Amino acid sequence: MSLYGIAHRLSTIRDADHIMVISDGRILESGNHESLMNKKGQYYKMVMSQMGNMVL
């Protein structure tokens, strides 16, 4: 079974099996929370921004 969810508060999807970062209809990144954080890409930037620790 598959379930798709859309979240603006990233803490709600942290434990998801698979996360996709989509912008302008394109998948930018996908993986679980840990792998996306290690990539330090767009997902990482959004998480850090929500935590108040934006890295430029």
pLDDT value at position 45?
94
Residue with tokens 């330090």: 40
Residue 1 lies in a domain: no
Residue 27 pairs in a beta bridge with 22
CA-to-CA distance for 16 and 38, rounded, in angstroms?
Answer: 16
Residues of the chain with pLDDT under 70: 53-56
Q: Is 50 left (phi over 0), alpha (psi -120 to 50) or beta?
A: alpha
Provide the residue range defining the domain that includes 21: 10-51
Give the number of domains in the chain.
Answer: 1
Residue 3 lies in a domain: no
CA-to-CA distance for 6 and 18, rounded, in angstroms?
Answer: 12
Residue 19 lies in a domain: yes
